[in-house]
Amino acid sequence: MTVAHRDVVVALAPLVAALRSAAEEEAQALVGSARAEAQEAVSAARAQADRMLARAREKGTADGEAVLAAERARAEREARGIVLRAAGDAYEASRRAAREAVSRLKDDPDFAIVDAALRSRARAAIGDDASLTEAESGGIIATVPGRRLDLSLASLADDLVEAWPSDDEGPWST
């Protein structure tokens, strides 16, 4: 029996929706926290820069504006680094959450349908003579001389996270 790709997509649709929802919530929380931390860092740096400018003006130095600009630039670079690290952390957290969620698929009573669909997809992609082995994470690794197709559950989870829109509204957008 060959299971159509559409059947796999339909069978996995609730899982994909749940994965996206859980990953987005976690990613949004991480990025929100990082943005708040970055804003605090920028505010503190600006306050410090303002104090430095006030001292410079008190001393009558003309280079106070340059000091302020340099300090603000440093603070903005630091804040950007915080946001970028948080976005990376959010991405990795989403990736881990997706992998954990798909690993539970192996215990689902209907996993045989998914397994059959992955086997069918592998053979359709690289040929009926493909050697199919079960991946440690579940799913299939298909090989023929000179070609390898990774349809493991871990790889599919990674592909799902990679396919997430990375626009300004994405959970790990910066």
**24: Cβ contacts below 8 Å, ≥ 6 apart:** 94, 171
DSSP code of residue 4: P
pLDDT for 2-37, tens place per residue? 555 566 667 667 767 777 777 777 778 777 887 887
Q: Is 151 exposed, middle or buried (0-12, 13-18, 19+ CB in 10 A)?
A: buried
DSSP 2: P
> Which among 25, 17, 21, 69 is positioned nearest to 46, based on CA atoms?
69
Q: Is 50 exceeded by the pLDDT of residue 170?
A: yes
Q: Tell me, what's the pLDDT at 1?
A: 45
| Rounded distance between C-alpha atoms, residue 140 and residue 118, angstroms | 7
Distance of CA 122 to the CA centre of its chain: 26
Distance in angstroms (rounded) separating the CA atoms of residues 151 and 129: 16
pLDDT digits (tens, 9 = 90+) for 60-115: 665 667 778 888 898 889 889 998 998 888 888 888 888 888 888 888 888 899 89
Query: What angle in degrees, to the nearest 10, is found between the helix axes of 111-126 and 5-58?
Result: 90
Helix/strand/coil for 148: strand
Entry pTM: 0.57
